[in-house]
Amino acid sequence: MSGHVYVVGLGPGDERHRTPAASDALRIARHLVGYGPYLARASVRDDQIVHASDNRQELDRARKALQLAADGEAVAVVSSGDAGVFAMAATLFEAVEQQGGTTCEITVVPGVTAMTAAAARIGAPLGHDFCAISLSDNLKPWETVLQRVRAAAEADFAMAFYNPVSKARPWQLGGVLDLLRELRAPETPVVFATAVSRPDEEIVVTTLAGAAPEMADMRTLVIVGSSATRCVPRGGEGAWVYTPRRAEAVSS
Ligand code: SAH
């Protein structure tokens, strides 16, 4: 009998942002596979078997899940946010492709991804066309990152940057901000949303002129507005940031 792999997005932090379908999958699974700190958020029961691994061992983790399922087990592969956004769902299908297919059932359970959680905390900065770019060059050349940021800026998308910095890559966000300063107005709103919906959450709203890489760490989602993104005053202090749903022709 073939088993079942559930690829589960836990949401950004706060359990209330975890979908009931994700919680169901975590309950049904006998094996939980994933990066250690994510599994720590999954409320594991004593009768469940945990296979925690390091952040870089994603393909091994996917193969392990497929092997367990081939033996008839119910397995949850756990990611933060949405499992389909810079996370394990694509890795799982890469492993399926490499082994030439599978007879196991696979269910990808969606989650609330960091960019929508971050956007909601500050208003609606992704209210019109936008794109999501990972700044990590672990899995793609740095040149490709810059090419995509440039193209997105020229098309006047708002942008959400995942993986803006890490200990090994402290310089990348600075490079992207420098590029954007050549292409976008200095007053363009920029949001640094760190650890959204977790106890250590911090949200900083600034402009492209004021944005500095030190404002981000690996728990930060950075949003850079389009030319239409604007701030409106909040009742108390600070501002909401939103992008209107109507756009002008892109100037060339
Ligand atoms: N699958 C995840 C993304 C994994 S990539 C998702 O859908 O959210 C890891 C990056 O996601 C981090 O470097 C950070 O940019 C972002 N991230 C994840 N959780 C976050 C949170 N709670 N607050 C802000 N950014 C977060």
- What pLDDT is attached to residue 2? 81
Domain 4-112: top CATH class: alpha beta
Cα of 112 vs centre of ligand 1, distance in Å, is 10
- What pLDDT is attached to residue 187? 98
Instruction: Quote the tokens at residue 219.
Output: 């728990």
Cα of 88 vs centre of ligand 1, distance in Å, is 13
Cα of 201 vs centre of ligand 1, distance in Å, is 12
Q: Which of 56, 80, 113, 223 to mutate to test the pocket of ligand 1 (most atoms within 8 A of CB)?
A: 80
Q: Ligand 1 pocket: which residues have CB below 6 Å?
A: 12-13, 79-82, 85-87, 113-114, 118, 162-164, 193-198, 218-221
- What does the pLDDT profile of the chain (252 residues) look like in tens digits? 689 999 999 999 999 999 999 999 999 999 999 998 889 888 899 999 999 987 778 999 999 999 999 999 999 999 999 999 999 999 999 999 999 999 999 999 999 999 999 999 999 999 999 999 999 988 889 999 999 999 999 999 999 999 999 878 788 999 999 999 999 999 999 999 999 999 999 999 999 999 999 999 999 999 999 999 999 999 888 899 999 998 777 665
Q: Which of 35, 219, 224 to mutate to test the pocket of ligand 1 (most atoms within 8 A of CB)?
A: 219
Closest listed residue to residue 162, CA positions, set 87, 65, 57, 76? 87
- What pLDDT is attached to residue 108? 98
In ligand 1, the atom with minimum distance to the C-alpha of 136 is 13
Give the start-to-end residue ranges of the domains of the chain. Answer: 4-112, 115-242
- What pLDDT is attached to residue 170? 81
Which H, E and C letters describe the chain, residue by residue? CCCEEEEEECECCCHHHCCHHHHHHHHHCCEEEEEHHHHCCCCCCCCCEEEEECCCCHHHHHHHHHHHHHCCCEEEEEECECCCCCCHHHHHHHHHHHCCCCCCEEEEECCCCHHHHHHHHHEECCCCCEEEEECCCCCCCHHHHHHHHHHHHHCCCEEEEECCCECCECCHHHHHHHHHHHHCCCCCEEEEEECCCCCCCEEEEEECCCCCHHHCCCCEEEEECCCCCEEEECCCCCEEEECCCCCCCCCC
- What pLDDT is attached to residue 165? 92
- What pLDDT is attached to residue 252? 59
Domain 115-242: homologous superfamily in CATH:
Tetrapyrrole methylase, C-terminal domain (3.30.950.10)
